[in-house]
């Protein structure tokens, strides 16, 4: 894969409350002609999807937000790019010997434990995404209790390698097989799983079988019907 067509601006900190929050608050620091990669050795207020808190052991994790150049992505295109970015990271780790899996829609797992996650956000003008933010947190040399980490992988240089790879892939046309490849790496895909309805608290069994281009999951209930859900509607119970 060729390098990104525009240079990447790297902004590095020893510690931040949140790379994602810093990226939003400092638009004047964005690369005017390409991608911007903001990294920190530690975060004191790291954010996950849905307002959750991301905890890390200082100076042991990849903590990065990648800010796109100006874009004109349609709304239906944004989740496909999220899937493409998730696949890029997962396949990069697989090439280094780590049998990772993705948990819909934002998590990265290794050996049944959470390894990291993704947080994607966007600026919109009408129905067009004009700027895209990809937050990544991965436990590399240590992890909080109960989480996975990448034993044997060095943190030095990881942000630069992944930022270049992601920018290159995200500037390239999306392959027609991206959603199928993404789905095939999902933890529990086409297997009976437990879910919790966030609005009612009800737990139930279903089999994830379908994925739409806008990121909705099609789950087959035990009586055979298919229910389509967004990520804020259900919690996918693991373990």
127 Rama sector, left if φ>0, alpha if ψ -120 to 50, beta otherwise: alpha
Per-residue pLDDT at 45: 86
> How high is the pLDDT of residue 54?
74
Domain that holds residue 156: 9-184
121 shares its domain with 200: no
CB within 8 A of 176, min separation 6: which ones? none
208 and 133 together in one domain = no
Paired strand residues for 2:
none
* Structure tokens that stand for 69 in this block: 């150049």
Q: How many CB atoms lie within 10 A of CB 27?
A: 11
Q: Does 41 lie in the same domain as 149?
A: yes
Q: Are residues 23 and 125 in the same domain?
A: yes
User: 10 Å Cβ neighbour count for 119?
Assistant: 21
Residues 172, 128: Cα–Cα separation, whole Å: 19
pTM over 0.85: yes
CATH of the domain at 197: 2.30.30.100
Number of domains in the chain: 2
Residues of the chain with pLDDT under 50: 1-3
CA-to-CA distance for 29 and 173, rounded, in angstroms? 27
Instruction: Dihedral sign for Cα 150, 148, 42, 86, please.
Output: positive
Answer yes or no: are the C-beta atoms of 106 and 118 closer than 8 Å. yes
> What tokens appear for 110 in the block?
């290794």
Q: Is residue 17 a part of any domain in this protein?
A: yes
201 and 173 housed in the same domain: no
Measured distance CA(90)–CA(129) in Å, rounded: 25
Q: In this structure, what token pair is assigned to residue 81?
A: 């790019």
Q: What is the pLDDT of residues 169-220, one digit of tens each?
A: 999 989 899 999 999 999 999 999 999 999 999 999 999 999 999 999 999 9
């Amino acid at each position: 894969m060729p390098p990104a067509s525009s240079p990447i601006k790297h902004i590095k900190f020893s510690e931040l409350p949140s790379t994602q929050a810093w990226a939003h608050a400092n638009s004047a620091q964005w690369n005017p002609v390409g991608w911007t990669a903001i990294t920190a050795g530690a975060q004191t207020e790291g954010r996950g999807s849905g307002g959750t808190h991301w905890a890390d052991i200082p100076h042991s994790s990849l903590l990065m937000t990648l800010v796109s150049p100006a874009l004109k992505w349609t709304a239906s295109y944004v989740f496909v790019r999220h899937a493409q970015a998730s696949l890029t990271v997962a396949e990069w780790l697989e090439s280094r010997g780590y049998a990772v899996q993705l948990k819909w829609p934002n998590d990265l797992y290794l050996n049944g434990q959470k390894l990291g996650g993704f947080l994607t956000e966007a600026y919109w003008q009408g129905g067009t995404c004009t700027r895209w933010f990809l937050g990544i947190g991965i436990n590399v040399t240590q992890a909080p209790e109960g989480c996975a980490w990448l034993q044997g992988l060095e943190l030095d240089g990881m942000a630069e390698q992944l930022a270049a790879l992601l920018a290159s892939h995200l500037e390239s046309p999306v392959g027609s097989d991206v959603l199928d490849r993404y789905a095939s790496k999902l933890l529990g895909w086409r297997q009976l799983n437990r879910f919790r309805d966030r609005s009612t608290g009800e737990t139930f069994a279903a089999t994830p079988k379908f994925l739409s281009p806008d990121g909705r999951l099609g789950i087959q209930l035990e009586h055979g019907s298919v229910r389509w859900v967004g990520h804020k509607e259900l919690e996918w119970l693991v373990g």
